[in-house]
Chain A
Amino acid sequence: MERTSVPPIHNVAICGGTHGNELTGVYIVREMQKQKMEKAGSVSVTTVETNPRAVAAGRRYTEMDLNRCFTDVLLSSPITESTLYEVRRAQELNAQLGPKGSAEAVDLLIDLHNTTSNMGLCLILRPNRNAILSVIHKILYFKNNLSSVPVRAIQLDIPSSKAYSLESVGKHGFAIEVGPQPNGVLRADIFNVVKEALDLTLQWLQKFSSGHSFEGGTVEAYTFVKSVDYPRDSAGKATAVIHQNLQDNDFKLLRSGDPIFQTFSGDILKYEGEDLYPFFVNECAYYEKKIAFHLAQRKTYSFPPISVKND
């Protein structure tokens, strides 16, 4: 494939604590601030603890999920006394790291998350040609250098104006989602993997900025198709639990006839539909969003070699 050149990345923001009980990002950001991580070669680094109130309370959010507050509508809504804390906070973050969609926005925004699902390390991104190219190259870099955890890419097909999550504020952005880790727990093995992934990212950015050419290759990415809720009774209460065959088997192909739920009275409910890949299986925060798991298609993408476009 023909070599492609991609615009430079001068600055990167690393964010943690967007969900206050997802602790890896909180402690990574604090440690980076303690170590005064402000530059990686010529790339400037900003670190932000994005939802300090939720972190202090040990909760995902205080009034509204911060990671749903970055739509164009919410970012431009007038602030009144009754504006929810997280909506306010999103606008502050947009001013600091954006504004979303403008030339002043940070070049790259990385938001750190944990999940209770057994997903290993995932990079979650919206497709955008340059973002894809550089992120996919990072994934290839991770895969070659991070041996202790599976690394995968997840794509969410959402246009920028409707994009609701923090990383959409940057010109490019992605979330690093790592699990399984319970809310409110800090596991050293996961901390170490995320720290290593960020070190690799900054290493990659430095090489990229200094003109290094990265080889092309292929990578698999999972594209969100739909979600599946728990079966519920007439009062809206879940009547089943994720079946043990599906529990912890994120990214293992699900076929028609495979068990997905076990009701409290012992019946097994089976999946009906096209072969798809489950992820976010039994994520704690999704119970209230009526999601038992998501389903994705998997595609292999080929990528050309890339290097930085000279300004």
Chain B
Amino acid sequence: SSNNNNTARFDAARRVAIFGGTHGNEMSGVTLVNLWMQNSAEIQRKGLEIKPFITNPKAVEKCVRYVDTDLNRAFTQENLSATGGDELPYEVQRAQEINRMFGPKGSAEAYDVIFDLHNTTSNMGCTLILESSKDAFNLQMMNYIKKAFAPASCLVLLNEHPLLKYSTSRSVAKHPVGMEVGPQPQGVLRSNIFEAMRVILKHALDFISLFNEGMEFPPCTVEVFRVLERMDYPRDANGNIIAMVHPNLQDCDWEPLNPGDPMFQTFDGKTIHYQGSSTVYPTFINEAAYYEKQQAFVTTRRETLAASAIRKA
């Protein structure tokens, strides 16, 4: 793509993938992708190749997050170039296969867009996950989705943090888009969550269709929540948690957490307060899968990003 005056030009997005089952127990994506693999009528758009794909079939079959290692952390350069074939952990083998099919990551042959469908036990509602604040195409898409979905809420989480950013399945594409909808327990399919995901994906595909047909999207601003810090549970010397997310914080994703606010509650009833120096916006509060990743919640700050106008090259 190249800048022409103030309008960024991108090639038409011809190859799009929809990933489900990156975590085998996050049921909305698994169900939607299985449905569309049987009957793709709902996701078809003219001039666009859309591939629904189950990324971690063994985990889906066992209804677990992963078999050997988290697939959504596995797409590091080290893993993608590792030798060892069958000896490699299952998800590393899968990452290499997915990189062959939809990448290679970073190359001109990579898929244009990948939507990766996820659920969370956190009360995050509909969330779009952005990996780069400089991707005008993705910013414009997210702006379009938010407006189309309104008055229902669809927020944008930006994870560009040099240490906390991780190598996702979708990162093999030129424009990776995470879709995270909750709260939903692992292994459970809720109709409201399922329908919401279906609708935001429809808006996303509509955007791509319009873009490919030559529509110009004028400059816009997008409110995002930028990941700042990972907050772990307080633990004892053996690594066991000694407190729980406080009832005042539980389910309050995206609401301000001020210095001095209750944050954790110990098992014998004491409150531990947030000691940060300024107000933050917590999210991924009490996500089941993150206990083992030492994360009770992440803090974010609100930012407004500007995106240039975009148009098909």
Contact = CB atoms under 8 A, between A and B. Distances in A.
Interface of A: 27, 30-31, 34-35, 58, 116, 180-189, 191-192, 241-244, 247, 262, 264, 282, 284-285, 287
B185 interface: yes
A184 B190 contact: no
Given A187-B250, A189-B250, A262 B191 contact: yes
Contact of A188 (B31, B35, B184, B244): B244
Interface of B: 31, 35, 121, 183-192, 194, 240-241, 244-247, 250, 265, 267-269, 286, 288-289, 291-292
B191 A264 contact: no
A282 B190 contact: yes
Given A31-B267, A186-B241, 5 more contacts: A35-B268, A188-B250, A241-B189, A242-B191, A284-B188
A103 to B, nearest CB: 35
A116 B185 contact: yes
A191 B191 contact: no
B267 A191 contact: yes
A185 B191 contact: no
Given A35-B268, A182-B121, A183-B288, A244 B191 contact: yes
Contacts of B291: 184
Residue among A184, A282, A284 with the highest chain B CB neighbour number at 10 A: A184
B247 A182 contact: no
A185 B244 CA distance: 10
B185 A284 contact: yes
Q: Is the interface of B mostly helix, strand, loop or mixed?
A: loop
B247 A192 contact: yes
A285 B250 CA distance: 24
B265 A184 contact: no
B191 A182 contact: no
Contacts of B288: 182-185
Nearest to B267: A31
Contacts of A181: 185
Given A182-B121, A184-B288, A187-B244, A284 B250 contact: no
19 contacts: A31-B267, A116-B187, A182-B186, A182-B288, A183-B186, A184-B186, A184-B288, A185-B185, A185-B288, A186-B241, A188-B245, A188-B265, A189-B250, A192-B247, A241-B31, A241-B189, A241-B191, A244-B191, A284-B188
A282 B247 contact: no
B212 to A, nearest CB: 28
A264 B195 CA distance: 10
B187 A244 contact: no
Contacts of A187: 244-245, 250, 286
Contacts of A284: 185-188
Contacts of A262: 191
A31 B188 contact: no
Contacts of A182: 121, 183-186, 188, 288
Contacts of A192: 247, 265, 269
B188 A282 contact: yes
Contacts of A189: 247, 250
B187 to A, nearest CB: 4
A185 B190 contact: no
A27 B268 CA distance: 11
B284 to A, nearest CB: 12
A116 B289 contact: no
Contact of A247 (B35, B185, B190, B244): B190
B288 to A, nearest CB: 4
A139 B287 CA distance: 32
Contacts of B183: 182
Nearest to B246: A188
Contacts of A30: 240, 267
A260 to B, nearest CB: 11
A295 to B, nearest CB: 20
A242 B184 CA distance: 13
A185 B286 contact: yes
A183 B185 contact: yes
